Amino acid sequence: MRRLRQLNFVFITVTFMCSIILLTPLAHAETKKPTLYYDLGDEHGWVPFRTGVLEGDGGVFADLVILLQSYSTIDFESVHLPMKRAEQALVNGIVDFDFICPEWLKNGDIGADFVGSIPLFEINEYVVTLKKNRDLYPTLDAIYGENIGTIGGYFYFDDDKFTRVDFLDENKLMKGLKHGRFKGIILDIETAKHWAKVNEVDIAFAALHTKGNLVLRLNKKHRELMEEINTIIARVKKSGELKMILDKYDVENEL
C-alpha cells in the first residue's frame, strides 16, 4: 500500500512538472511584447529630428520613441537605412512606422497601407534662399518651372511643378545653395538654420512651402497598436514631456 502511494505521488509530481514545462512557452508567448521597427536614416540626416546636433544626442525622434516606450507595452527598435530605401522598406514591412507630415504628400494621402497617429507637433518647410535672393520667391508658385534643391527620397507634394535637383542630405544641399547650384532649396526651419550655421551661409526664408503636423505613420498590419500609441502621445503632450524634448534640441515648433 505504501509502495502504491509512493508511485502515485511520483506520477502526480511528474505530471505536474511536465504540465509546467509544456505551458511555460505558451505563457511566455502570450506575454511577449510586440516589437515595432523604425528608421532613423543616415548619419547626420535631418538634424535635429533624426539626428542630434551634439555628439551622443539621439535626436528628437530617438528621444521621443524612448519616451513612448517608457509608457508602452510595445518594444521599439531602430534601423538605419539610406533615404531612398526607407520608403520601400516601409511598404515591404521591413520597417513598421515612420514620422511624416501628410502635407508633404499629394492630397495629404499617407497611403492605403498605413494609419496615422494624432498630431505630434507642427512642422513648417520653406523655400530657403541666400539672403540676397529672398525676393525671388515671394510666393510658392514662383518656384514652379525652376531648378530647386531637394533631398533624394523626400516627398514634395508639388514636385511635378518644378525641377528637382536631388542631394543625398541636408548638409550637401546647403552647400549646393551656397555655391550657386540653384537659387532655392526646400527645408524645414530648424534644419536650415543648423546647416546654414555649420556652412556659414547667410540664408533667408522666402515662401512657405508646407505647414502641417508631424504624425507617426504605422503599417496597417499593426493598426491594433495605434490606440495605445495615441493614448501615450496625448499623455506626453499634456504632461509637457514632449515639449521638453523639443526644448532640448531648441525646436520651437508648436504642439
| Residue 32 confidence (pLDDT) | 78
DSSP letter for 152, please: T
pLDDT at res. 43: 72
CA 27 to CA 143: how far, in whole Å?
60
Q: How far apart, in whole angstroms, are the C-alpha atoms of residue 67 and residue 76?
A: 11
Which three three-digit cell numbers place residue 43? 548619419
Q: Are 245 and 134 in contact (CB under 8 A)?
A: no
DSSP 8-state code for residue 157: T
- Cβ atoms of 49 and 193 within 8 Å: the answer is no
Q: Where in the chain is the domain with CATH 3.40.190.10?
A: 35-122+214-248, 123-211
- Three-class secondary structure of residue 95 per DSSP: coil
What DSSP assignment string belongs to 215-252?
A: EEEEEGGGGGGHHHHHHHHHHHHHHTHHHHHHHHTT--
pLDDT in the model for residue 31:
62
Closest C-alpha to 146, from 136, 157, 156: 136
Q: Which residue stretches of the chain have pLDDT < 50?
A: 1-29
Is CATH 3.40.190.10 the right assignment for the domain spanning 35-122+214-248?
A: yes
CATH topology of domain 123-211: D-Maltodextrin-Binding Protein; domain 2 (3.40.190)
pTM, 2 dp: 0.85
Residue from 63, 100, 69 nearest 251 by CA: 63
For residue 76, what pLDDT is reported? 97
Give the chain's end-to-end CA distance (angstroms, integer): 77
